[in-house]
Amino acid sequence: MAQVKLKDVSKIFGKGIAAVDGINLEVADKEFVVLVGPSGSGKSTTLRLIAGLENVTSGNIYIGGKIVNDIPPKDRDIAMVFQNYALYPHMNVYENMSFALRLRKYPRSEINSRVRKTADILGITHLLNREPRELSGGERQRVALGRAIVRKPSVFLFDEPLSNLDAKMRTLMRTELRRLHIRLQSTMIYVTHDQVEAMTLGARIAVMNEGRIQQFDEPLRIYDSPVNKFVAGFIGSPPMNFINGKVVKKDGALFFDEGEFLVKIPSFMQNKLPGYIGREVILGIRPENIYDRLFVSFASSDNTLRAVCEVIEPMGSNNHLHFATQNSSFVAIADSHDRPAIGEYLEIVFDMNKVHFFDKDSGETIV
Ligand SMILES: Nc1ncnc2c1ncn2[C@@H]1O[C@H](COP(=O)(O)OP(=O)(O)O)[C@@H](O)[C@H]1O
Ligand SMILES: [Mg+2]
């Protein structure tokens, strides 16, 4: 059993920089968890603490229920794959993959069977005699993975292992990693700054910012119910639109007043917002919840506004339309045949049942 648990873990470097600031995280046995966040948010440090490459400043790390704070990396039964997977240049693929096992004096037949089986899983059997310089980036990354797999660790730690690959290879390797996880049945913790990678890979994702875990949940729950503006804006592409405005009361109901337009806050949200009447809040709406009025049947004066289409970005399967009012700008995902005239006012519909409101000062989600 290889659950990984971090309890109140902090890591403070030299001049008082809290790279990791009181993290609590429980990764179940055989689970695939992704740590995602912008550069500098403490992802690599968290991973290195689990690996034992850094010591915690405070808190405890448990692997398989045991505190491992004082256990050296080599005795933690983990394998780590980095972005810069340095293969030994003078060894061929077989020698690279078998190196750790030879170091640990495994019997030759055991080494041979593990390397061949792993090479088979990764589809690199035909490369076993080649040297690293004779491999493409994707092939090298597979060898680096293979080197970790042959050790049969109970926990795999990945630190942005696909960042050096081109977009197509990244997508391919992503699917392979999923398959690998099902096949190997190991606990995997995967670090990335790429929210698409996080959404597609993780059974659960921990969104990090400034050394703290902001939210830890299943991808779609984070997408649908972000706990704060940071998470809302980080997960999703193109990102959620944020629009500044005020909550106002009119005819007994609450509205969001952007200055140039007024939209009605749905009844199921109304009881969360009375404390904000007359105050500024931020409305969040995802690009897929904004429509050209011509294409929807639920338009009304309560959810329709006028905005100028400034830019159309054709994506093939759809168009990204960039709109602006005097006060705000936002992006909508529209049908690829929806090509409004540039520079002209258009009637836009917000699906108000899908919007979020955020506290302007704290950034916390109001609803
Ligand atoms: N060895 C170190 N010494 C001092 N500061 C460090 C060290 N390693 C990381 N940091 C700092 O800790 C913070 C988190 O870094 P890191 O964990 O590498 O972030 P990420 O992997 O999310 O980009 C950053 O501000 C970084 O500059
Ligand atoms: Mg990093």
- Residue 37 CA: nearest ligand 1 atom is 22
The number of the ligand nearest the C-alpha atom of 40 reads 1
Question: Any idea which ligand is nearest the CA of 206?
Answer: 1
> Which residues partner with 192 through β-bridges?
36
Same domain, 179 and 325: no
143/252 same-domain check: no
Smallest-distance ligand from the CA of 48: 1
Are residues 197 and 49 part of one domain? yes
Which atom of ligand 1 is the closest one to the Cα of 45? 17
Which amino acid would we find at residue 328? S
Residue 239 is assigned to a structural domain of this protein:
no
pLDDT of residue 82: 86
Q: Of all atoms in ligand 1, which is nearest to the CA of residue 47?
A: 17
Q: Is residue 367 part of a domain?
A: no
**Structural domain includes residue 210:** yes
Q: Which two tokens stand for residue 182?
A: 């099902």
337: domain CATH number is: 2.40.50.140
Q: Are residues 163 and 136 in the same domain?
A: yes
Structure tokens at 297: 């049947």
- The confidence score (pLDDT) of residue 58 equals 97
CB 335 within 8 A of CB 318: yes
What pLDDT was estimated at residue 88? 94
> For ligand 1, atom 6, which residue shows the shortest CA distance?
13
CB atoms within 10 A of CB 148: 22
Residues with CB under 6 A from ligand 1: 13-14, 17, 19, 37, 39-45
Q: How far is the CA of 40 from the centre of ligand 1 (A)?
A: 6
Task: With a cut of 80, say whether residue 264 has pLDDT above it.
Answer: yes
Rounded distance from Cα 21 to ligand 1 centre (Å): 12
The CATH number of whichever domain residue 64 belongs to comes to 3.40.50.300
The verdict on 173 and 47 lying in the same domain is yes
Minimal CA–CA distance to 285: which of 347, 243, 241?
Answer: 241
Tell me, yes or no, whether 168 and 290 share the same domain. no
- Can you tell me the mean pLDDT for 219-237? 97
How close is the Cα of 5 to the center of ligand 1, in Å?
21
Question: Model confidence over 106-118: pLDDT tens digits?
Answer: 999 999 999 999 9
**What pTM does this model have?**
0.94
For residue 62, report the distance from its CA to the centre of ligand 1, in Å. Answer: 22
Q: Are residues 183 and 105 part of one domain?
A: yes
Domain identity same for 294 and 199:
no
User: pLDDT digit string (tens) for 55-103?
Assistant: 999 999 999 999 999 999 999 999 999 887 789 999 999 999 999 999 9
Instruction: State residue 30's pLDDT score.
Output: 96
Judgement on whether residues 53 and 187 belong to the same structural domain of the protein: yes
Ligand 1: atom nearest CA of 160 is 21
Please tell me the distance between residue 324's alpha carbon and the centre of ligand 1 in angstroms: 38
Same domain, 113 and 136: yes
- Domain tally, the chain: 2
pLDDT of residue 245: 98
143 and 264 share a domain?
Answer: no
**Mean pLDDT over each residue of the chain, to the nearest integer:** 95
Q: Is residue 260 part of a domain?
A: yes
What HEC string does 146-207 produce? HHHHCCCCCEEEEECCCCCCCHHHHHHHHHHHHHHHHHHCCEEEEEECCHHHHHHHCCEEEE
Q: Is residue 366 part of a domain?
A: no
Q: Which domain holds residue 282?
A: 245-359
**Residues whose CB is less than 8 angstroms from the CB of residue 179 and which lie 6 or more positions away in sequence, other chains included:** none
